[in-house]
Amino acid sequence: MVRRKDDEQDTPFRMHGDLLTTTLLAFLRNWNAYGYQLAQQLAQAGLPAFDSGTVYRTLRQLEKTGLVSSFWDTSESGPARRMYSLTKAGELFLSSWIDVLGRYQAVLQKTLDGFAPAAGIEQDDEQTPPRAARR
């Protein structure tokens, strides 16, 4: 949960669609999984709760674009379940995203480091407005 100072209630974190896609692909990188297992892994990873419909719609879209493939698993007792796996195209897409996110993280860290207060200088409780807004 993310909390803003002016909110009295918690505001849930919302995950952008590309981040959901990338996270699902990352989960599938090392093993095949059912949609239900992937939804559980999202929750266990501390990410916001997704209804199973959102997870399955995203998986179907990933399959249409060739990033994942699926097959019906009939190995367990009970009804057949769709098992998802990462394709070579999905692996390439995921590797590219990991690279982009790593660069983005480095840019954000440099930016945050630039805004760190100098040693020995106290900072007001209120934020200092950006230079353009100080006029």
Mean pLDDT by 10 residues, the chain (135 residues): 44 64 94 93 83 90 97 86 96 94 92 75 53 46
- Tell me the sheet residues that pair with 84: 33, 70
pLDDT at 126: 52
**Amino acid in position 7:** D
pLDDT at 91: 97
- End-to-end CA separation in angstroms for the chain: 35
What are the residue boundaries of the structural domains of the chain, listed by start? 17-112
pLDDT at 4: 41
DSSP 2: B
For domain 17-112, the question of CATH label 3.40.50.2000 is answered with no
pLDDT at 76: 74
Is the entire prediction scored with pTM above 0.75?
Answer: no
3-state SS of 48-67 is CCCCHHHHHHHHHHHHHCCC
Tokens 């803003």 correspond to 4
